[in-house]
Each structure stands twice: as C-alpha cells, then as structure tokens.
Structure 1
C-alpha cells in the first residue's frame, strides 16, 4: 500500500496530541514525567504493542519500551527513540496554553518533542489498522531525562540501539524542515565557589563572597567561547540571606564543539579553572557528555531514502549536522545508522512561545510511515 493513502487526519491527530501537551512533564519532576509515560504506554498498548515499563533511577522518571508484533519479532529492526520530558516547569501551561492560531498549535513541549513522538505513534497505528506489516520489526523507546543530558538512560538507549538496524529520532525538524545526520559534541560542568561567610552589615570586609567570585568566573568562562568551542553558563544558585556574605555558589556550564578534539580541549580548559583565588576555592566537575556524531554511509543511506520519500510527499528534506544534543548523539556515535530531527516543524522550543506548524502533522506522519514501510 502507498503510505500516502493512509488516512492521516490533522484534526484527529490534534485531538490525540492535546492530552500529551496538557500533561506537563518537566525532567526534574519524576512523578509528572511518569504520568506522561502512563499516557504514552496506554497509547502504545492500545495500538497493540507489547509494553515494558522500566523503573526510573537517579531521581528521574521511568521509561517505556514497546515492541510491536512481527514475524521477525526479537530480530534487529527499527528503533524509534524519543524523550517525554520537557524543560518547562509545572504551570507553564498557564503561560503557553494549548491553542491553535494561524496554522500554529502552541503548548509546552509540543515541538520538543511530544509532537514528533505522537506523530510516530500515529504512523504505526495507521499501518496496523491498514493490516500492513513492515519489513522490519519496530521498537519504540521513550525516556525521561534527555533535557538534562540523559544521565540515567544512556545505557538503556545504547543497548536498545545495538539490537536494531536503524534508529529514527523524531526530534523537531531543523528551521528549514530538514533532518539531522550528525550532531556536535556536548559536555556539561558543575562549578562551585566556596568563600567565607560574614555579616554583610558590620563585618563585610571579613567575608569572601562566593557570588562575587562566581560572577568573575562566569565572565571568564563565557569569554573562552571561540569558533571551535562554545561555553555558556545557564544555571546559578547561591545565597539565602541578603545580610550574609555568601559562602557557596553553584553554577552549571554547557560546552559544545563540532569536533571531539575541540571538545576535549574545552574540557581541559574548564577543569583548569579549579583552584583558589582571593581565599575562595573554585571546584570544577565534569558532568554528562554527548559524543560527536559524524554522518557515515549507513546514516546517509537512511537519509537518502527519507529524501526520496519526502519528494513523493511534496517537500524537500535537507540534512546537516547540528548543535543541540539529542539521544541521536549516542546511537550515531555507535555507528548505528541514525536519522534525527524528522519530527514536526515549528519554532520556539524551550520558550514560552513554543509551537508547531499544524500542516506538518500529516506531512511528518507520512514521512515516518514511508520510512517504516521501506527500511529493510
């Protein structure tokens, strides 16, 4: 059957997607993420998948793995890998509520990446309803912690990928609607300054402010950004009493590079910042890292197939390596053919204006269905 004849319906997909968006699931709220996993697990089970719930660890929510019936069940096939966590705290829905305006549908996490996840399930659903068995068995794995670097489920994703021939990642499409065939390396760091407390009113000079030291360090870190490697301070926590000189300050830093050797050099530069300055101790610890994923022949073959399918649908699917890590970093770096960012089109991810283009729902469902039908 021609995938373009599958009865994808925009209104039906919007109705199904709405509960996913209205189930807020910030990474650091495992209970909220588990509620979202419940929704997805039910949806997958209703389609006919064999469901396995995987408990969370390290303070994160759990995962769901779904395998669909197939004559080659258990043999290497297609892994659809996605995350159900978002960067938006509970309550964001009040600021960016579900709404459809001028061909756009808004809501927290709708672009990154609940829209792409839901479209993938819809593609599988329509294939099953049409009685079509894909050439390869399909596994879906949804995880809870991608937005913080996947510290608790990297091994799970990598092991699942190793059991399959191809990995499809329905992260949001690039700004031009294109796919991602490689990603830059990313490293996270935790920086702590430890000073000396004192009363900020009558003994200010006796103290050594951890906040002031961190402020100087932030400028130093961000000034290290160059063409080969970038550094950004995204989180700072410090202080409790305004009348106390702060004794501790914590910061989180993200570094990104197009080449692994540049990231490795960036890691060295960050770790070299540790020491002591003006009686303030500076500690730097390396956090989770995403390896460079460079496109290889296997990935490009999957992309060429996707481009042909897109052409049949009526749009051009470009490709590029990209910044902004995803779990495709892990699978692609393992040498497993991986096609990333084939999810919905939109803009504003990680902002209060996040939205998707409504007309991309059917387009991307067709793209996913076409890939599932033609990958062998």
Structure 2
C-alpha cells in the first residue's frame, strides 16, 4: 500500500457502523430543546474521548445547546483539518417513537437526523478511529467541532465556527452527499427574516367589524412575498404563528421567511425588498426584521484542489463525487466565504431529509467512511 491509498483498504463495515450510529439517532436533539441537544453532545463527547481525543464542552448561548470540540494528538504543529458538523435536527422530541422510528428496510435506514447530519458526523469519527487503529497518521492535526444550532442558521455559533476555522488550513463538512453522490464546493446565499403584523382586537362574535385581523394582514403579505420568487432568488415563508382564541380578532401574528440566491448581489436585492415591505392598510402595521444571513460561498482554487483529491480517491473506490454548488445552507457557507479551502457534502448518501421519511443508504456508510479516511490522509 502506498501512503496515499492506505486508508482506502481499511476494514469499514456498514452493518457494524449502523449499529453504532443507532445510539446517536435514538438520542433525539431538536435545536430548540437545549437539554436534548446537550444529551446528544454528551454521547458524541464520550465517543470522541474513547477514540483518543481531548474533548471540551463549550457552553451554549441564546438558550441553545452546547458545542463539543475535540482534538486528536499529532506530531505536527502546522494548521490542521477542521471537521465541522452539527448535532441539532429539525425533528421534535418523540419523533423516534412514531413514524420515523429507527429501522432498517433493505439498504435503507430511517431515523430523525440520520441523513442530516448525524450519519455524516458518525462516518467522520469512524474514519479517524480506523486510521488510528491501523497506525496511519493523518496529514495534519485533526479537530472536530460539533455545533448545536445549524438548523436555524447558526445564530449562536457563527463566531465560534469562524474563529475555529481561522486556526485551520482545511475544513471538511460531512453534510449529506448530493443526490448523485457528489460533494459540495459552493453554496448559495441565504437570508432569514422575522415578521410581525399588528391589528386591532375585538370580539369576533359580537363586534367583528370593529377588529382588524393581524392574521389576515400576514396572509396578504405571505402571498406577496412568495410571489416575488424568480429564477435568481427564491422567497418562502415556513413559520406562521398567530392567535390564541378563535372568538378574538387577532392582535399579533408572527412569521419567518427565507430567501435564497446563487449570487450575493441577488440576495442583497432580496433583503432590500423584504425590508421595504409595508402594511397593506392604515388600520394595521407590518414590521420586517433581518435575521441570520449565510453569505454566498463560491469555489476558489483551494476548494477545487480539495475536490480533485476527493475525486481521485473516489475513483479508486469505484465511484465518482462530482462537484457542485448547492442550495440549502450549511456552516460551510461561513468557512468557504472566509476563503478557507472547504469541502462539503462529504456525508452519507440518502434522501428526504427534514421529512418523516428521512433515510440513508446503508452501504454508503463504509463507502463514504473510506473516502473521508482517505481525505484525512492526503489533504
């Protein structure tokens, strides 16, 4: 075995890996349940420690969960490799006991967060474990950073991510593989918005005409916002909350919108449009506040060199990892936009993330694990 292919011959076993991953999947960790996220971080911290890492827990902020940073010993003192992943999911507590319970059906395994992105995090750790067991040195020092709020745009961890990435030469992000098995070398820009409409309350049965419904105003705004979607930039509203009593004309209604664009200038224009929105009538008010923004990440020479190494390794393993820019932001947006060579989408193959049919293809655990191990040896 030559040094650059030694990792490709390690004994990864998808069935055994799935058995280990099951504990991670059954430890539910929805973003807004800090205690649940912290339980998951505790499981990951223990596994990292057992693998030989020096582990520290970084307290959460904004009522969100903690983060875990783990460093593996290395003889070199040069800038290292940062493995960047998140442990929060979009699935609420109890999902594991319902339709999305952990199960295997042929080559598919189902469970909350199994594709996005606990499966990818797990194969990254397995890659390090396999290398260390075989006595194969990684090309650089390796640090893992598992964060707690990526699914809501990383409002509490962006500064931590950027500070940690600045201390590293390369960032590897085991977010899910693309549908064709490819990896991500750039991501679109994303902006979030918090909106509130305010009406005038009244009794919906006795004095309906005296009221002005905040829900009605918000619905008008939602239709207008989503109609602004073009090929250059999309607009969508994914959260809507208003009202307490059906017999009361609603005073306040809150919603959250998201805009995504391939180019930063298109997103900047979208932000201007959203912030310029006004109420549709004099008897109601409407306010838009800018939320978390992910900058556009465009591939540079360093990113494409990383991809070239990944493609060469994949070919030796018998598959391809075509490169592409992708929507659906990740924390790779931040590190890529900083100019740090970043390769994203290195995680498992699967489908239907963020739904009750979220699953992975079991054979991709070993396949992508070998790829990740190879990258840790050559980047």
Q: Which residue of 2 aligns with 1:356?
A: 360
Return the alpha-carbon distance in structure 1 between the equivalents of residues 9 and 338 of structure 2. 36
Return the alpha-carbon distance in structure 2 between the equivalents of residues 349 and 187 of structure 1. 21
Return the alpha-carbon distance in structure 1 between the equivalents of residues 256 and 223 of structure 2. 14
Q: Which residue of 2 aligns with 1:31?
A: 35
Which of structure 1's runs of 4+ aligned residues deviate more than 6 A?
none
Deviations 1:277-314 (A, max 9, x none): 24110000000000000000000000000000000010
Q: CA RMSD in A?
A: 0.8
**Residue 257 (structure 1) aligned with residue 261 (structure 2):** yes
Q: 2:217–2:280: 8 Å Cα contact kept in structure 1?
A: no
What's the offset of the Cα at 1:275?
4.5
Q: Which residue of 1 aligns with 2:82?
A: 79
**Residue 56 (structure 1) aligned with residue 22 (structure 2):** no
- What secondary structure, in the 3-state scheme, does the structure 2 residue paired with 1:40 have? helix
Return the alpha-carbon distance in structure 2 between the equivalents of residues 245 and 134 of structure 1. 63
- What secondary structure, in the 3-state scheme, does the structure 2 residue paired with 1:159 have? helix
**Residue 186 (structure 1) aligned with residue 182 (structure 2):** no
TM-score (norm 2): 0.98
Structure 2 residues not aligned, in runs of 5+? none
Q: Which residue of 2 aligns with 1:175?
A: 179
Which of 10, 15, 21 is matched with 1:11 structurally?
15
**Residue 135 (structure 1) aligned with residue 139 (structure 2):** yes
Return the alpha-carbon distance in structure 2 between the equivalents of residues 45 and 352 of structure 1. 32
Q: Which residue of 2 aligns with 1:367?
A: 371
Q: 2:82–2:144: 8 Å Cα contact kept in structure 1?
A: yes
1:65-214 alignment to 2 at 5 Å?
65-73=69-77, 75-93=78-96, 94-214=98-218
Return the alpha-carbon distance in structure 2 between the equivalents of residues 4 and 338 of structure 1. 21
Q: Which residue of 2 aligns with 1:312?
A: 316
Structure 1 residues not aligned, in runs of 5+? none
Return the alpha-carbon distance in structure 1 between the equivalents of residues 173 and 139 of structure 2. 19
Return the alpha-carbon distance in structure 2 between the equivalents of residues 89 and 49 of structure 1. 30
Aligned length: 374
What's the offset of the Cα at 1:3?
1.3
